[in-house]
Copies of this chain bind each other. A is one copy, B any other.
Amino acid sequence: MAKERVGFIGTGIMGRPMAQNLLKAGYSVTIHNRTKAKAEQLLLDGAAWAANPAEVANNSDVVITCVTDTPDVRKVLLGEHGVIEAARPGLICIDMSTISPSATKEMGEILGAKGVILIDAPISGGEIGAIEGKLSIMMGGPKETVEKARSIMEVMGRTVTWCGPLGSGQMTKLANQIMVIHTIMSIAEGLAFAEKAGLDLHTTLKVTSAGAAASHSLKALGPKIIAGDFAPAFMVDLQQKDLRLVLEYAEQLKQPLPGVALAKQLLSVLQARGRGRDGTQALVEVIRQLGKSID
């Protein structure tokens, strides 16, 4: 069977290396990005350019979207010159952005009425995971369509999991982000306390990493905190976007999440100070600041 023609909309920090991996794997890829300049390298590498999302869909069997937020996906799929203008039965859309689960379900119905199948497939693993094709991809939608898309997904991800019907990928991603922010709180308060107590942080890190306090965040970000390195593995602004999605959806579910609410407020201190583009490990700076005298 010939490889599907793949469309890729959104060639930013994550999308660019993902599209690159599809090209390397021999897929014919048609791309579109709001800012064409960010797509130049992909065009040199053999991708075809399309002037808008509808044109991408006209030239593709499977259209992947990887943009920032719910309104961006809505515009690309349903807006003027959106994918919906090229809708035809059998077209598959795979949205790899992290957006609202309820908006995903709603857009799935609108596209479904035209025979287009929407799949949600948000990702985790960061820029390095995207470059190395080692993302974790959380998929929601009809199982047979997800399985059909699996070979394409496996070019970009190491772990491709079907999580349930449409929206389940987004919900799983949000559950993941809830867990992540608490582990960031863990290291921020734990290391700020240790520092204030005058402990040697290298020793603290070694001891705590070996036992019940261990977490991926402690291992990956603990050394960065000690080194004062606040370069982003994952940016505060993006974490906040995800936590907004978490709290919005939790409100729909009527599920209070007091810990997430607190963490989001504390992270917002970094945004207020113009540090929204720091990595999330900068949360330790907020906790430290709480323990400083007011000048």
Binding site for B on A (CB under 8 A): 101, 124-126, 136, 138, 159, 161-164, 168, 171-172, 174-180, 182-183, 185-194, 196-200, 203-204, 206-208, 210-218, 220, 234, 246, 249-250, 253-260, 262-263, 266, 287, 290-291
Contact = CB atoms under 8 A, between A and B. Distances in A.
Given A259-B185, A259-B189, A163 B214 contact: no
A211 B125 contact: yes
Contacts of A260: 189
Contact of A182 (B138, B185, B211, B220): B185
A189 B197 contact: no
Nearest to A260: B189
Given A196-B255, A200-B164, A215-B215, A186 B189 contact: no
B199 A163 contact: yes
Contact of A215 (B183, B197, B200, B255): B183
A250 B195 CA distance: 11
A266 B190 CA distance: 19
A101 B215 CA distance: 25
Given A189-B178, A214-B215, A197 B253 contact: yes
Contact of A136 (B186, B210, B215, B257): B210
Contact of A262 (B171, B198, B259): B259
Contacts of A177: 213
8 contacts: A126-B212, A136-B210, A164-B198, A175-B194, A179-B213, A182-B185, A185-B185, A189-B260
Contacts of A199: 163-164, 168, 171-172, 175
B266 A163 contact: no
A214 B211 contact: no
